[in-house]
Structure 1
Amino acid sequence: MRGEPQKRISEKALKVWRLYGMMYAAIMWIISIAALVLTILFDWHWGIVVGLFIVSIAVTYIFVSILPKLRWRRWRYEVREQEIELQRGIIIVKRTLVPMVRVQHVDTGQGPILKKYNLSTITISTAATKHEIPALETSEADELRTSISLLARVAEDDV
């Protein structure tokens, strides 16, 4: 059995995922503050507000501190001549092999947050599914997209 893939995504992914985590946490905090205001206005039971604030603290800590680190540690990939291997997951680690002969096209994508950190995501499309390699340096993503495209053509010619 092969060892795990060796290449990692950019360490800047931690910043991006923490930023996304802050956005999720902000939604939770808005709900908690709205519940606080409604509790004051309508003299509701304080247990709901206390519970929401505890959940908000937990969500903030988990989504901003813990999950990005775990996710980054697990995310690995490797592009070989015959296949692309992806490894991801936090609790359940999932490893996927994508045969080059199945690759139909390769895209790079970059939203506003990824662009701020000069990162891109590669999407590898097969007939049945799409696979992503998130948060690569943009120059590395462009090179990898070209490399996968060439390897997929060579694999297709061999069949």
Structure 2
Amino acid sequence: MQPKYQLSKKGLTVWRIHAAIESLSVLVIALIACALTYYFEGPYWIYAVSIAVVIIYSFLNMYLFPNIRWNHWRYEVREQEIEIQHGLFIVKRTLIPMVRVQHVDSSQGPILKHYHLASISISTAATIHTIPALTVEEADGLRASISDLARVAEDDV
């Protein structure tokens, strides 16, 4: 059974903005390739390839991948563990025992802040697990809940 909760739908917009910024860098590289081709009188097919790469990359990165990512991201906080699931072809399911949780952080960059979203990071001795694109209220509630549950789990040991 997969975890119950999905990320905020606003996360799609944030991921698309990040993808648009990345697509601009790909566009700049394609423009440089076209300028060099023009300057050195290279073959015309480089123009077509550059344009195709920018269009395909932008479509995949701004539309398709964020939708897939959002549809497959799930999480659930239980009394004894936290479960995180993501991925399409390779589905990664992570169980984090509450007794292993050392601390929980929430973070907001400027784009997340604009859309009233936050990410939480759950630190264990070995790794840091992140749940992205939660509403600020949900992130604050999860951070407090995980902190309380981890404290209780630690007291029981």
Provide the TM-score with structure 2 as the length reference: 0.97
**C-alpha deviation, 1:58, in angstroms:** 0.7
Quote the Cα distance in structure 1 between the aligned partners of 2:63 and 2:89. 16
Moved more, 45-54 or 108-117: 45-54
Cα offsets for 1:100-142 (capped at 9, x unmatched): 0000000000011111101000000000000000000011101
Q: Does 1:97 align with 2:95?
A: yes
Quote the Cα distance in structure 1 between the aligned partners of 2:77 and 2:52. 43
Quote the Cα distance in structure 2 between the aligned partners of 1:90 and 1:49. 33
Please tell me whether the aligned partners of residues 75 and 83 of structure 2 are also in contact (alpha carbons under 8 angstroms): yes
Structure 2 letter corresponding to 1:138:
V
1:12 aligned residue: 10
Structure 2 letter corresponding to 1:44:
G
Quote the Cα distance in structure 2 between the aligned partners of 1:56 and 1:133. 30
1:83 aligned residue: 81
Moved more, 90-99 or 121-130: 90-99
Please tell me whether the aligned partners of residues 34 and 50 of structure 2 are also in contact (alpha carbons under 8 angstroms): no
1:64 aligned residue: 62
Match of 2:22 among 21, 24, 29: 24
What are the ranges of 5 or more consecutive residues in structure 1 without an aligned counterpart? none
Structure 1 letter corresponding to 2:4:
Q
SS at match of 2:9: coil
SS at match of 1:5: coil
Structure 2 letter corresponding to 1:6:
K
Identity score, percent: 53
Structure 2 letter corresponding to 1:101:
V
Cα offsets for 1:67-98 (capped at 9, x unmatched): 00000000010000000000011321111000
Moved more, 20-29 or 33-42: 33-42
Quote the Cα distance in structure 2 between the aligned partners of 1:48 and 1:151. 58
Match of 1:134 among 132, 136, 142: 132
CA RMSD of aligned residues (A): 0.9
Moved more, 44-53 or 111-120: 44-53
